[in-house]
Structure 1
Amino acid sequence: MREVMGECLPDVVRARQKKAFGGVQGEWLRKYHKRAVYGLLRSASFKKREYWNHLALMRKADAFFAGEGENSFFLWQCINLELWFRKFID
């Protein structure tokens, strides 16, 4: 992309290092989706999956919602994997 845009962008922009940006899933989960997250984590389909340790994930969710660490991306991945299983596998 940088090579293609080389003639269009100033060197200061083209040569700049990538900058990371934070995800907003932590805020979304804490403020708006706590009930939905726990509903999914407590569901029979989530508990029966052999791909994760259900109790360990519940502890991680409890810690996240208590403000003890930022593992929202991990929870976001587990939630979306479960939803994917429901749509395409079950």
Structure 2
Amino acid sequence: MDLDCTAVLADVWLMLDGECDDATRARLQHHMDHCSPCIEAYGIEEKIKSLLSRKCGGDKAPDSLRDRLTLEIHKSITVFRSDSTEA
């Protein structure tokens, strides 16, 4: 099953956090293995996650904040993808 970049980028944080199942991880990894823009975006997100982990010292944000951020990330990725495909 081929995934589009929007779906991959929307789920990259789930993969980084180890919150997706093995089948989903395999599909995402397969896509990224063949899509340089997605692997680049994954690398950036991985660096951000690592930086946040180091600087926040293990502090946990409230679930409501996580939910809001997840929603905003999904919206921004959707808007970015729809804007970038218009020419």
TM-score range, shorter chain: 0.3 to 0.5
Compare CA radii of gyration and give the structure with the larger one: 1
Structure richer in helix, relative to its length: 2
Q: TM-score, normalised by structure 2?
A: 0.32
